[in-house]
């Protein structure tokens, strides 16, 4: 079976299971946030401060050591990852591999390619901007802190990225696909959902809702990767590469991840064509390169065609 979405039909795929499963995964994911909130609360109380602003993002980010904050934020995604496995295995009786790929084995080379293509672009663009606008950055490299950050990032960021891919491009995409028997609805719904997931990010508060173009556009990019390549390896690699390289290389006081990165961007961000440039120019280039490397064909049917389930599973 080469249809990634149709793989869900090998397990229990009634609509109510996806409704219940999506809710339970979300709850399990949020339970993973308890250690972070508990640590922040304990620190505030130990310092004699009130905890009335515990829900304030700036308070959360500034209370604990940045590396500890980074780890505890990512820990919730590790718990969410376990939640996906639990629901897929026991509520749907589906092989976990079938949530990942149509290939006989998970393709780590594809993960590495997805990671490399975005990682290379981020590094090159950051170096160029640093050379052209050095006053916009603060050199922040501290060996002891950076090594800890790197260890946490290398272990935890791929888990975070994989969870989000499993939840959106995996669980939701397969579920909507087998329920509605098409591909376009899962692609649109998961891309919009992925964008809305980031609605509470501090970048939105700083730059305004226009930044949602980037988040939703990235959702479409990752969704197209999954559908055209019939698996999540490329999207997992891309997602992990984008998040990890960014976390290690550059941060700012208005970004979701505030880390002990090599550089700190100190300028006030401005909304311009740079919001649209990746979505309109860079992302299509990524897709064309991947299409060439992996010989993607039948774009219309893979992105907008019907999902045909085996007779025995309908």
In angstroms, the CA 6 to CA 176 distance is 11
Q: Does the structure show a pLDDT above 90 at 272?
A: no
| Residue from 199, 213, 198, 205 nearest 160 by CA | 198
Pair 32, 259: CB distance under 8 Å: no
Percent above pLDDT 70 for the chain: 93
pTM of the full structure: 0.93
- pLDDT tens for 68-90 read 999 999 999 999 999 999 999 99
Q: Which residue has the tokens 């909507």?
A: 176
Q: Which residues lie closer than 8 Å to 162 by C-beta, 6 or more apart?
A: 81, 236, 239, 240
Average pLDDT over residues 41-59: 66
Q: Which residue has the higher pLDDT, 269 or 266?
A: 266
What Rg, from alpha-carbon coordinates, does the chain have?
A: 20
| Residue from 34, 28, 30 nearest 82 by CA | 28
- pLDDT tens for 114-142 read 999 999 999 999 999 999 999 999 999 99
């Amino acid at each position: 079976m080469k249809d990634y979405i149709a793989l869900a039909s090998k397990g229990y795929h009634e609509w109510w299971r996806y409704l219940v499963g999506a809710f339970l995964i979300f709850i399990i994911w949020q339970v993973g946030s308890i250690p972070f909130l508990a640590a922040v609360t304990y620190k505030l109380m130990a310092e004699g401060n009130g905890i009335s602003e515990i829900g304030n993002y700036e308070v959360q980010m500034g209370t604990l050591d940045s590396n500890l904050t980074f780890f505890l934020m990512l820990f919730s995604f590790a718990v969410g990852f376990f939640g996906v496995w639990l629901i897929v295995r026991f509520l749907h009786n589906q092989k976990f591999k079938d949530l990942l790929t149509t290939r006989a084995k998970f393709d780590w080379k594809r993960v590495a390619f997805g990671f490399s293509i975005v990682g290379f672009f981020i590094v090159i663009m950051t170096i160029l901007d640093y050379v052209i606008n050095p006053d916009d950055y603060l050199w922040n490299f501290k060996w002891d802190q950076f090594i800890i950050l790197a260890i946490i990032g290398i272990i935890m960021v791929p888990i975070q990225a994989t969870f989000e891919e499993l939840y959106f491009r995996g669980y939701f995409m397969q579920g909507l696909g087998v329920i509605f028997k098409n591909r376009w609805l899962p692609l649109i719904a998961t891309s919009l959902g992925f964008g809305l997931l980031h609605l509470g990010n501090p970048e939105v508060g700083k730059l305004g809702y226009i930044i949602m173009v980037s988040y939703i556009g990235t959702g479409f990019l990752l969704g197209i990767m999954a559908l055209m390549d019939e698996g999540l390896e490329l999207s997992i690699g891309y997602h992990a590469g984008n998040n990890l390289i960014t976390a290690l290389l550059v941060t700012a006081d208005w970004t979701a991840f505030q880390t002990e990165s090599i550089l700190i961007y100190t300028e006030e961000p401005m909304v311009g064509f740079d919001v649209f440039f990746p979505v309109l120019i860079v992302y299509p280039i990524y897709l064309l390169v991947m299409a060439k490397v992996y010989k993607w064909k039948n774009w219309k049917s893979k992105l907008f065609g019907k999902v045909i389930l085996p007779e025995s599973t309908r």
